Structure 1
Amino acid sequence: MNIVIGPKEERKLISGYFTVANIFCSKCNEEMGWIYIRAFEATQRYKEGKCILEKAKLMKEY
């Protein structure tokens, strides 16, 4: 609800090939990380639908 999902693309990551999409903050439109859409290897299917957020991009409001 607080993210926007960008276009899908295929990427080769350390753990294999995946279809992923970048995710963006819905308020400031800053890129926050990516979401795994599809894993090409059966052993990596547990990642599908999960998001990776870059810790350096997160801010805490006071």
Structure 2
Amino acid sequence: MKFGLQSWANDPFGLVAMLGLVFSCGLPAWSIVRWVFNWIEKRKGADIAEIAAEVRKELGQ
């Protein structure tokens, strides 16, 4: 209600704009999730201790 988006829902172009807004807001989270899944898949056969050591090394601890 604060931004007046209800009026967008009455117009087809407004609906497309709202869906574009939702898509663009969700894109960064989707890319982070894909990065995490690819990182996990790359280390599929590694032991948990090896993964923890690698995370510590990357974080600089």
Normalising by structure 2, we get a TM-score of 0.23
Higher Cα Rg, which structure: 2
Q: Larger helix proportion, structure 1 or 2? A: 2
Q: Larger strand proportion, structure 1 or 2? A: 1
The structure with higher relative contact order (CA 8 Å, sep 6+) is 1
Normalising by structure 1, we get a TM-score of 0.23
